[in-house]
Structure 1
Amino acid sequence: METKVDNNQTRQQAKTVKAIGQHMKILVIDDNEQTTTMLSKFFNAKGFEITTANDPIEGLHLIRQEKFGVILLDVMMPVIGGIGIIEILAGEDTLKDQNVFIFTGANLPEVQVKNLLRRDGVNGIVKKPFELDNLLTTILG
């Protein structure tokens, strides 16, 4: 069976993503510069305002200074990992005001995943490697 693609619908979806992107700031915190560069190029091309931090301490400072529509947070980083940042924000009572999506290449125990997703402000976990379009769909919910 052949699937017919509606080009008008595809163009409309692209316009919707671009319109949302013009109003959404995204912060990516990951110690891997290749990851932050790739995500920066992708989200910029979609019209999003993107800020990246390869140092988790710098990322934590950015969260405290600015309001982001989405925070993409790597779990495994030196000095302080993503879960540590989540704990700090929870301790400051500001996690609930965030829209955090964790991404990781690690196999987190199911109990840990459930506990993270129960936290107000943590809205998803994305497994690395990920497809960029799937990541976009996930954060736009």
Structure 2
Amino acid sequence: MGRRTLVAVARPDGRYDCRLAHWGADADPIAQSRPLGNDWTPAAVLAAIDATHEQLVVLDGSVRTYAVCWLDPTLSAIDDIALARTADPESFRQWWVDRKDAACRALDSEGCDPAAVRRALLASLRNRASSVHCPDDASFLRGDR
């Protein structure tokens, strides 16, 4: 199964050259990805990400990895995501999949309110990740990490 990763390479002018890796990006995100587009604004980088992506890798003098976490427990709103910064993408991803599966089961079997389940998912995400960013806030890409 693919691990779609958007790789955003910072430019000196505050914009990004973006690349796409279908099998994830680990040690060398540039070599593991193909060009997707140049001269993107931070907002355009975030607008390109949805629940079909597994992670965002930002190269701006360092390598920062953000897990793409699909918050919608009804599995219908593909753009309902949050980006969670993590130093260990693999263990974080497994934790998130387990957490999301439990939330979806609770929604199905217990008839929980989808909005309440979503809020609980976001709260657990904020407790686990070093930082969490919603797709309408690109400040962390502009250096306001």
TM-score (norm 2): 0.30
- Higher percent of residues as helix: 1
